[in-house]
């Protein structure tokens, strides 16, 4: 099974957890032994972090690092060395990807969405269906919220020709975590390429403002109202439907508040803006931050928002054919994912300025990928 070991420099570009996620997932999929060195060398605390929030200035993205690596190891009965807190180098030797039930627990508010990001491509090429039990933060800082994963990532990712089910058992917030999500995935023979280049026009705007634990319901209503006011300044002709939700006591662990707002277009594109409450930040500000993020993502002319860019790269690299997505400015996370998809999977990417007339005045790009046509050896 094992080919030559792939050597990855963990300090370049994004220089954090994303390099680990992309490189270990591709190593697992392609059966290539991997060594990642200089992990998080550019961060305030180098080395693997458990997410003991060592630095307030640079919030570490770390609760999910170790559990993500361990999950990939378990998915394929691989061998993992150097995976401990503070380690700056890991080696990973994958074996065959197997289905079944797999559990990953960050033990903190580490993001279950990042655990899903690292494991999803792998289980698509497993021998049988998988059930992933992911524990940690569902609505955590520095990572997609679970609502984003379900409302935006899922419908777009399924265009590659797979289906998954995401069951939110319990929501968990910073700093305690305690959330649990169960993801069910059936394997595929191959992934289809996608072509997301026609943005269409916005037809709907909707969302969800939530409070959990001891926070008063008024906070949810205030976030929603402030967000609606902000959006109305720019988009006057659409009804903005943001629901205010008090999370049921038995379905949420700890205290939290936040909001996600989605814009849907005539061609099925989805864009989001979201924000989480923090101690001492008033509700209006949280709502406005999410609204402004959504509006910014609607200005650039792309077909995906800035958070979806990098999440699609690995699927594009594996697909059987040419995929194209239109984006706003290409994020560092997307550039990092492209770099390692080229280095490890040998997919070919071209990033160029969009030549469409309506994009002339905007910062709009096309990311094109000739996928490797990965085939599931088990099916």
User: 201-224 pLDDT, tens per residue?
Assistant: 999 999 999 999 999 999 999 999
- Altogether, the residues listed in the chain come to a count of 379
User: What's the Cα-to-Cα distance from 342 to each of 125, 196, 328, 346, 347, rounded to whole Å?
Assistant: 19, 21, 21, 4, 5
What backbone torsions phi and psi does residue 317 show, to the nearest 5 degrees? -65, -35
Instruction: List the beta bridge partners of residue 208.
Output: 243, 260
- Tell me, what's the pLDDT at 213? 96
Closest residue by Cα to residue 333 from 7, 20, 8: 20
Give CA separation, 256 vs 128, 146, 157, 174, in Å.
37, 14, 28, 8
Q: Is residue 307 annotated as involved in ligand binding?
A: yes
The angle at the Cα of 182, spanning 181 to 185, to the nearest 5 degrees, equals 135
Which pLDDT value is given to residue 55?
Answer: 31
Residue partners of 232: CB distance under 8 A and separation at least 6: 240
Q: Compare 59 and 234 and report the one with higher pLDDT.
A: 234
Q: Is 64 annotated as a binding residue?
A: no
Residue 43 neighbours by CB under 8 Å, 6+ apart: 15, 16, 58, 60
Taking the domains of the chain in order of start, what are their residue ranges? 6-195+304-372, 202-300
**Token reading at 205:** 């705007």
Statement: residue 60 has pLDDT above 70: no
To the question of whether residue 239 is assigned a binding role by annotation, the answer is: no
Region 90-115 average pLDDT: 94
Q: Of 158, 153, 194, 130, which is closest to residue 378 (Cα–Cα)?
A: 130
Per the annotation, the verdict on 102 as an active-site residue is: no
The C-alpha angle 252, 278, 226, rounded to 5 degrees, equals: 95
**65-91 pLDDT, tens per residue?**
788 999 999 999 999 999 888 888 999
- Asked whether residue 263 carries a pLDDT value surpassing 60, the answer given is yes
Q: Is 45's pLDDT higher than 80? A: no
Instruction: Please say if the pLDDT value at position 266 is more than 60.
Output: yes
- pLDDT tens digit string along 289-326? 999 999 999 999 999 999 999 999 999 999 999 999 99
- The SS3 call for residue 80 is strand
Q: Given the residues 65, 102, 300, 333, select the one marked as catalytic.
A: 333
pLDDT digits (tens, 9 = 90+) for 157-189: 999 999 999 999 999 999 999 999 999 999 999
Locate all alpha helices (DSSP H) within the chain, ordered by sequence.
17-30, 63-75, 112-124, 146-148, 154-157, 217-234, 283-299, 306-318, 332-345
Q: Which residue has the tokens 């060592």?
A: 54
pLDDT given for residue 51 in this prediction? 46
Give the pLDDT band of residue 64 (cuts 50, 70, 90).
Answer: low
Split at pLDDT 50, 70, 90, the class of 42 is low
Per the annotation, does 310 bind a ligand? yes
Q: Is the pTM of this model over 0.85?
A: yes
Q: Does domain 6-195+304-372 have CATH number 3.50.50.60?
A: no
343 marked as part of a ligand binding site: no
pLDDT at 340: 97
Average pLDDT for residues 97-118, to the nearest whole number?
94
Smallest Cα–Cα separation from 160: which of 188, 185, 199, 202?
188
Determine the Cα–Cα distance for residues 2 and 33; give it in Å rounded to an integer.
6
According to the annotation, is 198 in a ligand binding site? no
pLDDT, residue 50, reads 58
Q: Per CATH, which fold does 202-300 belong to?
A: Dihydrodipicolinate Reductase; domain 2 (3.30.360)
Nearest to 302 by CA among 262, 330, 273, 260: 330
Strand 164-172 and strand 179-185: the pairing is antiparallel
């Amino acid at each position: 099974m094992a080919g030559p070991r792939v050597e990855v420099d963990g300090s370049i570009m994004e220089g954090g957890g994303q390099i680990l996620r992309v490189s270990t997932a591709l190593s697992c999929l392609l059966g290539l032994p991997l060594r990642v060195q200089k992990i998080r060398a550019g961060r305030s605390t180098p080395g693997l972090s458990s997410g003991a929030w060592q630095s307030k200035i640079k919030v570490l993205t770390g609760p999910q690092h170790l559990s993500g690596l361990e999950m990939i190891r378990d998915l394929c009965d691989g061998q993992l060395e150097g995976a401990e807190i503070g380690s700056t180098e890991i080696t990973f030797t994958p074996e065959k990807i197997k289905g079944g039930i797999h559990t990953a627990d960050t033990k903190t508010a580490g993001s279950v969405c990042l655990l899903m990001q690292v494991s999803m491509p792998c289980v698509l090429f497993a021998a049988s269906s998988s059930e992933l039990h992911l524990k940690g933060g569902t609505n955590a800082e520095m990572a997609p919220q679970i609502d984003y994963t379900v409302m935006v990532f899922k419908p777009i990712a399924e265009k590659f020709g797979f289906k998954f089910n995401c069951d939110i058992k319990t929501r968990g917030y910073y700093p305690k975590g305690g959330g649990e999500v169960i993801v069910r995935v059936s394997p595929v023979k191959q992934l289809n390429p996608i072509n997301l280049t026609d943005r269409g026009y916005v037809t709907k705007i909707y969302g969800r403002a939530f409070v959990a634990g001891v926070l008063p319901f008024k906070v949810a209503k205030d976030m929603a109202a402030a967000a609606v006011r902000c959006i109305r300044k720019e988009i006057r002709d659409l009804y903005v439907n943001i629901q205010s939700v008090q999370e049921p006591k038995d379905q949420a662990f700890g205290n939290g508040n936040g909001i996600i707002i989605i814009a849907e277009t005539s061609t099925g594109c989805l864009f989001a803006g979201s924000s989480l409450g923090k101690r001492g930040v008033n509700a209006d500000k949280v709502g406005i931050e999410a609204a402004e993020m959504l509006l910014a993502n609607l200005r650039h002319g792309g077909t995906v928002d800035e958070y979806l860019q990098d999440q699609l790269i690995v699927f594009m690299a594996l697909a059987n054919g040419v995929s194209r997505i239109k984006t706003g400015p290409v994020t560092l996370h997307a550039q990092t994912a492209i770099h390692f998809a080229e280095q490890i999977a040998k997919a070919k990417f071209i990033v160029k300025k969009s030549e469409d007339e309506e994009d002339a005045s905007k910062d709009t790009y096309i990311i094109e990928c000739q996928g490797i046509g990965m085939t599931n050896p088990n099916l």
